[in-house]
């Protein structure tokens, strides 16, 4: 049995673990990184990267068939589903070297490619190696949740971990789950020529603002995606190569089944109890500093920290941990400035509070500013004007933004910066942007906050009248 003593031992080489490892080792700490599966974690291999690559293929197919409004004859796209999956594989392979064991070993990280588990409060074992560390970071991420639907175990089904290996184009893809993964894959497969039915037990995009979510859902339905809401999957059955999902709103029969109902944290193999680490089904029990409440040597990053499950949150957690673990500075996470986006067409994005959340928290102090994308000249030129931005404002500061529209995932960044730095609406309104750009949507929304104060204010008009009479 080999033994290693190090400053920081990280379990999990996804976004959070890799970011902590790279930052800590380059700042002078000794780091051991343990990964029992694929370097890069879920995002690179099964999530963000492959899904966006397939969405890009689907977007191109859709554009070919809908170019007439721009004066270009539409063409019937000849979709090669297997070739689209080759594109996905190539994209992953292009990015993979950045997350590879070789790169991190080159930085000075000791990489162990095996599963790690706690054997005491101060030790982790990976294969034939025992690591003793001053601090441990658990960053094992999450995987697809497979619900206990009767009959599901008796049929072939896919999750985000297996869907991208599928080479034959589904004739009719049934998706159980109307969250971001389910809806992104629904639209992508519909645009690639598949029949698609989404079955959602509650409301599709249930965590997003209902008004902006409705814009996206209406567009998906217009494209031919069938979306059944309030339709719990009661059981699954198969006859030959056809799969049927039975719901209170009727049976749905298709050729392929995708399960996209949510995520479960990857903690089963960690032996957390032997490490004296409190945990539940959401992950490790940690404080705002991401430190275990029962083992002060242990920290969590990303999905296993029990909060928002996004790749960029894991990266953010890494920054919080580097300040505390490497520099010894007090550091805590916050969540009010964390954005997220769903890469449907139009895109759906959120940062801070939704309208309902803001009304509950601030009551009559809240102002909601609305601006439609169809006023944006760049989007008019591109015939992509479907969209809405809603800004929740309290005492001149944005506390939340919901939007649906082209490039919403990019546009939300300005508002995330504003909320993170407690900027006022005036900071957005006075920003000069190049014309014509889609980002003018943000500036115009901020302008809509000030318009009634300037143009519908009798006091302002009286003052202006006096100034005009006295000006030379």
Residue identified by tokens 């009559």 is 364
Residue 420: predicted pLDDT: 97
Other CB atoms closer than 10 Å to residue 70's CB: what's the count?
Answer: 11
Q: Which of 455, 453, 446 is nearest to 424 (CA)?
A: 446
Distance CA 155, CA 161 (A): 17
Using CA atoms, how far apart are residues 408 and 342, in angstroms rounded to an integer?
9
pLDDT of 193? 97
Ordered DSSP codes for 308-331: ---HHHHHHHHHHHIIIIIT----
The residues, any chain, with a CB within 8 Å of residue 267's CB and separated by 6 or more, are 138, 140, 279, 283, 284, 304
**Residue reference for tokens 């015939």:** 383
Q: What is the DSSP string of 395-443?
A: TTEEEEEEEEETTHHHHHHHHHHHHHTT--HHHHHT----SS-TTHHHH
DSSP 213: H
Report, in angstroms and rounded to the nearest whole number, the Rg of the chain calculated over CA atoms.
25
- 302 Ramachandran zone, left/alpha/beta (phi>0; psi -120 to 50): left
Please choose, from the candidates 100, 88, 123, the residue with its C-alpha nearest in 3D space to the C-alpha of residue 21: 100
- Low-confidence residues of the chain: pLDDT under 70: 454
What pTM was estimated for this model as a whole? 0.94
For the CA atoms of 450, 453, 455, 458, the dihedral, rounded to the nearest 10 degrees, stands at -170
Q: Which pLDDT does position 453 carry in this prediction?
A: 79
Residue 245 confidence (pLDDT): 98
pLDDT at 445: 97
Strand partners, 280: 283
Q: Could you give all domains of the chain from N- to C-terminal order, each with its CATH number? A: 2-39+100-144+264-326 (3.50.50.60), 152-263 (3.50.50.60), 339-455 (3.30.390.30)
SS3 label, residue 180: helix
pLDDT in tens, 208-247: 999 999 999 999 999 999 999 999 999 999 999 999 999 9
pLDDT of residue 458: 81
Is the CB of residue 446 less than 8 Å from the CB of residue 370? no
């Amino acid at each position: 049995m080999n033994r290693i003593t190090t400053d920081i031992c990280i379990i999990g080489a996804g976004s959070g673990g890799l970011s902590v490892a790279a930052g800590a080792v380059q700042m002078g700490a000794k780091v051991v990184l343990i990964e029992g599966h694929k370097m890069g974690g879920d995002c690179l291999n099964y999530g963000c990267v492959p899904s966006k690559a397939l969405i890009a293929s689907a977007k191109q197919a859709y554009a070919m068939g809908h170019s007439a409004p721009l004066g270009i004859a539409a063409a019937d796209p000849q979709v090669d589903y297997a070739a689209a999956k080759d594109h996905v594989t190539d994209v992953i392979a292009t990015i993979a070297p950045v997350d590879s064991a070789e790169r991190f070993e080159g930085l000075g990280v000791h990489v162990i490619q095996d599963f790690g588990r706690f054997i005491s409060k101060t030790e982790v074992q990976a294969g034939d190696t025992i690591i003793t560390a001053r601090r441990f970071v658990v960053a094992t991420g999450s995987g697809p949740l497979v619900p206990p639907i009767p009959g599901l175990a008796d049929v072939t089904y896919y999750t985000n971990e297996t869907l991208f290996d599928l080479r034959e184009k589904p004739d009719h893809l049934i998706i159980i789950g109307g969250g971001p993964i389910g809806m992104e894959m629904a639209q992508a497969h519909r645009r690639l020529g598949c029949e698609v039915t989404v079955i959602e037990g509650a409301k599709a995009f249930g965590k997003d603002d209902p008004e902006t979510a409705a814009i996206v859902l209406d567009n998906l339905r217009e494209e031919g995606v069938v979306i059944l809401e309030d339709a719990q999957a009661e059981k699954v059955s198969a006859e030959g190569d056809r799969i049927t999902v039975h719901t209170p709103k009727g049976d749905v029969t298709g050729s392929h089944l995708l399960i996209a109902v949510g995520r479960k944290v990857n903690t089963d193999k960690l032996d957390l109890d032997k490490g004296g680490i409190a945990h539940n089904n959401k992950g490790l029990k940690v404080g705002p500093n991401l430190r275990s409440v029962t083992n002060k040597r242990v920290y969590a990053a990303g999905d296993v920290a029990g909060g928002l499950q996004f790749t960029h949150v894991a990266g953010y957690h890494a920054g919080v941990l580097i300040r505390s673990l490497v520099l010894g500075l007090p550091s805590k996470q916050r969540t009010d400035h964390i954005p997220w986006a769903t890469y449907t067409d139009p895109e759906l994005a959120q940062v801070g509070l939704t309208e309902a959340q803001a009304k509950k928290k601030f009551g009559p102090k809240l102002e909601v500013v609305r601006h439609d994308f169809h006023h944006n000249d760049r989007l008019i030129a591109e015939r992509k004007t479907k969209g809405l931005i809603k800004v929740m404002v309290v005492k001149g500061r944005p506390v939340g933004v919901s939007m649906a529209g082209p490039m919403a995932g990019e546009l939300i960044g300005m508002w995330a910066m504003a909320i993170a730095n407690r900027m006022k609406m005036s900071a957005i309104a006075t920003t000069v942007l190049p014309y014509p750009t889609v980002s003018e949507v943000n500036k115009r929304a901020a302008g809509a906050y000030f318009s009634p104060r300037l143009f519908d204010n009798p006091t302002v008009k009286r003052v202006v009248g006096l100034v005009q009479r006295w000006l030379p």
